[in-house]
Amino acid sequence: MQLTSDLTITKSPHTRIHEVDFSHLEFGRHTTDHMFVADYKNGEWQTPTIVPYSNLSLNPVTLALHYGQTVFEGMKAFRMADKNVSLFRPFKHHERFNTSLTRMCMPNVPEDLFIQGIHKLVEIDSAWVPSEEGSSLYIRPFMIASEERFGVKVSDEYKFIIVAGPVGPYYAMPLRLRIEREYVRAARGGTGYAKCGGNYGGAFLPTQLAKQDGYDQVMWTDAVEHKYIEECGTMNLLFRINDVIVTPTLSSSILDGVTRDSILTLAADMDFTVEKRQVSVEEIRDGFKGNTMQEAFGAGTAAVVAPVQTINIDGEDFDLPAWNEKSFMMQVKMKLSNIRRGVDADNYEWNYIV
Ligand code: COI
């Protein structure tokens, strides 16, 4: 079924683009002129539509507001050197969206609806794709349970919406992270690998406590022993230890980051040894004490590559060595950016040209 062949489009009579200062883009501040909406009812997807960006009207007993059936994706469109617009790995994001939806008992979105929905929205709002260095159009596909009921139940109705907005860097400064040994983001068998709203809401309190103490984020550890590093909640974590690129192996409590996957692929191309395995807090501490901890950074769609400056382990701050253009994280960030901009060859067919 080609749902999007019947797509209806209502153009906004005016644009808000002139309100945006593209040279100082804050992450998440602006949205484009349009949004894509598709409803799921009676067991099937209804004809989708693109309409002027607007508020939603929700009944107070809309199930998503009470029982948390909400899932989202985060992906980006880039302005290429030849002025074309490309989506970065949209098929991988679609796959992950459906993995999250399945975990939350929500209907999967057909590939055509997801890809064509994003394609059409980005095409209509293409003037919003920034060309400034380090900027992109952030795309937020999401789904909410829209049935109106008090009872605790799996919703029979859903809204799949795509919105977008121009963004600059998510983290402006190198990060100070605190290893979390008390609170838990996700346990094995839980929803940690799904991009559902509750994972983020549950992380706010420990993150706020870390912020009060001067840290930007927490580094989550496993729920059983608090011994092994998991991820950051807003991004995956990677280390360069003794010249090897090391990252926690994926599990049901860690999000399968698209940027993480891309960086690991490029690291192997750059002749680095890559190890996906358990990373203990003790290994991190020993790495600092024995001077083998060379780099630590976060990787995520929003964060891209976010250098870590300090890691707090059990109350003690450890500083990473200063980095420069030759550091692995800076080289791989540049490589990724060059592929996205069409400057370097796209050997893995990650770019989807709109
Ligand atoms: C993303 O990287 O796209 C995320 O969804 C995480 C959040 C920081 C926006």
In tens, the pLDDT along 124-182 reads 999 999 998 889 999 999 999 999 999 999 999 999 999 999 999 888 889 999 999 99
Domain ranges of the chain: 3-167, 175-338
Task: Return the pLDDT at 341.
Answer: 94
Distance between CA atoms of 140 and 117, rounded to whole angstroms? 12
Residue 326 to residues 25, 197, 333, Cα–Cα distance (Å): 27, 37, 11
Could you identify the atom of ligand 1 that is nearest to the CA of residue 27? 9
Which two tokens mark 187?
């346990």
pLDDT digits (tens, 9 = 90+) for 77-89: 999 999 999 999 9
Nearest-atom number in ligand 1 for the CA of 75 is 3
Give distance in angstroms: CA of 43 to centre of ligand 1: 30
CA–centroid distance, residue 100 to ligand 1 (Å): 14
Q: Which helix (H) or strand (E) holds 103?
A: helix 90-103
Q: State the CATH architecture for 3-167.
A: 2-Layer Sandwich (3.30)
Q: Check pocket membership of 302 for ligand 1, CB cut-off 6 A.
A: yes
In this structure, how many other beta carbons lie within 10 angstroms of the beta carbon of residue 160? 25
For 246-298, write each residue's pLDDT tens digit.
999 999 999 999 999 999 999 999 999 999 999 999 999 999 999 999 999 99
pTM over 0.85: yes
pLDDT score of 133:
84
Closest ligand 1 atom to 259 CA: 2
pLDDT attached to residue 1: 46
Q: Are strands 175-179 and 304-313 parallel, antiparallel or unpaired?
A: parallel
Q: What span, in angstroms and rounded, lies between the C-alpha atoms of 35 and 324?
A: 40
Q: What residues pair up with 35 in beta bridges, in sequence order?
A: 51
Distance 235 CA to ligand 1 centre (A): 7
Which residue spans within the chain are E strands per DSSP? 8-9, 34-41, 44-45, 49-52, 70-72, 75-79, 85-88, 136-145, 158-167, 175-179, 217-219, 236-241, 244-248, 273-277, 293-300, 304-313, 316-319, 351-353
Ligand 1 neighbourhood includes 236 CB (under 6 angstroms): no
Six-digit token string for 271: 């002749």
Centre of ligand 1 from the C-alpha of residue 337, in Å: 18
Burial group, residue 292, by CB count within 10 angstroms (0-12, 13-18, 19+): middle
Residue with the nearest Cα to atom 7 of ligand 1? Answer: 234
Distance between Cα 288 and ligand 1 center (Å) = 29
| Stretch 65-74: mean pLDDT | 97
Ligand 1, residue 257: give the atom nearest the CA: 2
Distance 290 CA to ligand 1 centre (A): 33
Q: Is the CB of 165 under 6 A from ligand 1?
A: no
Q: What is the pLDDT of residue 107?
A: 98
User: Which of the listed residues 301, 304, 336 should we mutate to test ligand 1's pocket, taking the one with most ligand atoms within 8 A of CB?
Assistant: 301
Residues 168-218 have pLDDT tens digits of 988 888 999 999 999 999 999 999 999 999 999 999 999 999 999 999 999
pLDDT of residue 79: 96
Quick check: 32 and 162 in contact, CB under 8 A?
Answer: no
- Neighbouring residues of 26: CB distance < 8 A, sequence distance ≥ 6: 167, 168
DSSP category for residue 6? G
Q: How far is the CA of 245 from the centre of ligand 1 (A)?
A: 23
Please state which CATH number belongs to domain 175-338.
3.20.10.10
Percent of the chain with pLDDT over 90: 94
Please compute the mean of the pLDDT values over residues 315-321 and round it to a whole number.
Answer: 97
Output the residue whose Cα is nearest ligand 1's atom 9. Answer: 302
Span 206-217, pLDDT tens digits: 999 999 999 999
Give the distance (Å) from ligand 1 centre to CA of residue 175. 16
Distance 150 CA to ligand 1 centre (A): 31
Task: Indicate whether residue 301 lines ligand 1 (CB < 6 A).
Answer: yes
Ligand 1 in reach of 294 Cβ (< 6 A):
no
Is 331 a residue whose pLDDT tops 50? Answer: yes
> pLDDT averaged over the chain?
96
Residue among 38, 85, 167, 60 nearest 351 (CA): 85
How far does residue 234's CA lie from ligand 1's centre (Å)? 5
Average pLDDT score over residue span 110-116: 96
Whether 197 lines ligand 1, by a CB cut-off of 6 Å, is no
pLDDT at 2 (0 to 100): 57
